[in-house]
Chains A and B, each alone.
Chain A
Amino acid sequence: MRPRVLIVDDEAPARERLRSLLDELGQADVVGEAVTGEQAVQRAAELAPDVVLLDVRMPGIDGIEAAKHMNVLEQPPAVIFTTAFDEYAMKAFDAQAVGYLLKPIRKEKLAAALAHASRLSRPQLRKIGNPGDTRSHIAVRHREGLKLIPLDEVQFFFAEQKYTTVRHLKGEDLIEDSLRSLEDEFGSALVRIHRNALVSVRYLEGIERNADGQYFVRLRGCDAPLQVSRRMASELRERFRI
């Protein structure tokens, strides 16, 4: 079966060239193009391509973060990164055996990469970002595809049984990330207030105690008070002087 390919690059000549190389090879069908990381994630969800040719350096969400979000999809595409020159990324790709192509891309190399394209595993994805880089968005899967929520708009994460709820400025969504993995990734932006809740430091407003001696945090733009465990209450007060 001929693979269905999505081309992602912010530069028009680069997209054009990939398209014409793929036409010439005649081994794959181009199903779409995207010019930003956000758009790439949307298109990948809508079009369900088999392979994404993904530029590493793009404005906004870069290729590596886009690949992480795409991996949330039910049928994640295989990813081949393309880059002009990015020493750090190239080293990481080599170390993790992730497919990548150097621009200007050679036709033979493109053919070989398509033949060997494979999905990225979670550990591979974790290790190819820049050290200390965290995602700038949280990906939410829903019927029409993927929605990206900027981390800046997230007020808190709340865990219930199997799912995690993310509460943000525009509503609430369910995600599959565990509180533990979110805490590991965004440690400096989030703070654990309870076994089942992580709140965003930027929305933290105050801490209150009700008649029963139970502590709650108030978050900016958020009515529902969130329970704070006794152990965390004093730590929170000290750390944020609230």
Chain B
Amino acid sequence: MSNGTDGADESLYLPDFCTSRAALANVLIVELTALILTLAHENVGVGFWTDLSRTSLFLLWIGLAGAALLCWMRAPLNRLQVRRGSAAVLLLISALIAVISAGAYYLGRSDLVENAGASALFPPDLAPFLARNGVIGFVVTALALRYFYVTHEWRRNIEMQATARVHALQARIRPHFLFNSMNTIASLTRSNPAVAEEAVQDLADLFRANLSDKRDTITLEQEYEVARTYQRIEELRLGSRLRVDWKIDSLPRKALVPGLMLQPLLENAIYHGIEPQPGGGTVTVTGELSGNLITIVVRNPVGNYESEREGNRLALANIRERLGLLYGERGLVKSGRFDNEFIVTLRFPHVETLHEA
């Protein structure tokens, strides 16, 4: 049994610090921080420019060493999950700051600096210097990580929407269904032109729903209509072998759902569950509203020989993606085989206007 909470891309969100572009961005962040620190400081003893220079020099050591460290550690860090990776980066950078701060302090105490008479430029006491730098470093690093994370998520979301669109294209109505329907209509044109006419209208509606891209989100009622249209065409072809039991009266009709969510599930259920059975079977669709959550369950019988096929997985992955885009973690798709049934469960919040979603 699989469920919808699997993240395909769990790698760390950090940019590649090995590139020159990241190095440049890094220097920029360092200089801005140096400017803020210097401005916030009363430049006792030394002038503003001297203070800015020494602060930037100090921060550049930290910035460049940090970038080098992250570049070097990139492979192991990338293997970590977001939380652990972020904690590891914070820890690494804090340790680095401590080491460099201590280095700077001892450099100030060294003969070289004393002889040059430049001791005033260096921190007088180690402990407060370390503490101050540690806290500042921690805060700045945390802010930078947050910034990288948000940018990364935003980019990933855009990519996911693009893939979802591609998958939606792939998951569109099976050619098998199209040609069989055409065959049914060709037959009905002779024997029962009135029914043939309706079938053509149904097929047109179904394809219109499949081709519309602009309205990605529709109401449950509209989606139910699309599924029913599909069901009517399949009934012409399969006759009494196909039975669909809809138990969805308790569902809110105006609830928003991604378009083409029910129809592909019905199509899968018929293709894998009903058509392979000589005597046909019943697809059951049940809907429930409990609290704020809508649950829709689609079940179909399966024979012993039938395994989960590529097309089925693709359609499920697609619905999962689109529910995820609309409802984030609150949208859930589960599927699995239980005894002689294949069961797909959809769960998502009851929302009637888009800005709630």
A residues in contact (CB < 8 Å) with B:
10-14, 16-17, 20, 36, 38, 57, 59-60, 84-86, 102-105, 136
Contact = CB atoms under 8 A, between A and B. Distances in A.
A85 B183 contact: no
Contacts, number: 67
Given A102-B179, A103-B180, A13 B275 contact: no
Nearest to A87: B175
Interface in B269-308: 275-278, 305
A14 to B, nearest CB: 6
Nearest to B192: A13
Main secondary structure of the interface of A (DSSP, over half): loop
Contacts of A102: 179
A103 B182 contact: yes
Interface string B111-150: 0000000000000000000000000000000000000000
B238 A11 contact: yes
Given A13-B237, A14-B183, A59 B175 contact: no
B187 A84 contact: no
Nearest to B199: A13
A103 B181 CA distance: 9
B183 A59 contact: no
Nearest to B190: A20
Interface string B173-193: 011101110111111101100
B278 A16 contact: no
Contact of B277 (A12, A13, A17, A59): A59
B323 to A, nearest CB: 29
A51 B183 CA distance: 21
Contact of B186 (A11, A17, A36, A136): A17
A84 B180 contact: yes
B71 interface: no
B328 interface: no
A195 B182 CA distance: 54
Nearest to B196: A13
B236 interface: yes
A229 to B, nearest CB: 33
A1 to B, nearest CB: 28
Contacts of B336: none
A104 B196 CA distance: 14
Interface residues of B, number: 25
A17 B185 CA distance: 10
Given A17-B183, A17-B190, A11 B176 contact: no
B238 A85 contact: no
Interface string B181-224: 01111111011000000000000000000000000000000000
6 contacts: A13-B237, A16-B190, A20-B190, A85-B179, A85-B180, A103-B180
Nearest to A86: B176
A105 B182 CA distance: 10
A132 to B, nearest CB: 12
A84 B174 CA distance: 11
Nearest to A60: B278
A59 B303 CA distance: 10
A13 B186 CA distance: 9
Given A11-B237, A16-B191, A17-B190, A85 B176 contact: yes
Contacts of B311: none
Contacts of B236: 13
A105 B184 CA distance: 11
Nearest to B184: A13
Interface in B219-256: 236-239, 241
Task: Give the residue among B178, B278, B305 with the most A Cβ atoms within 10 A.
Answer: B278
A104 B187 CA distance: 9
A11 B184 contact: yes
A211 B96 CA distance: 82
A36 B185 CA distance: 22
Given A14-B237, A20-B191, A84-B179, 7 more contacts: A11-B238, A12-B239, A13-B188, A14-B183, A14-B184, A16-B190, A85-B179
B183 A103 contact: yes
Task: Choose among B180, B188, B191, B239 the residue with the greatest number of A CB atoms under 10 Å from its CB.
Answer: B180
B176 A17 contact: no
A94 B229 CA distance: 35
A11 B278 contact: no
A68 to B, nearest CB: 17
Contacts of A103: 179-180, 182-183
Nearest to B279: A59
A13 B178 CA distance: 15
B187 A14 contact: yes
Contacts of B305: 136
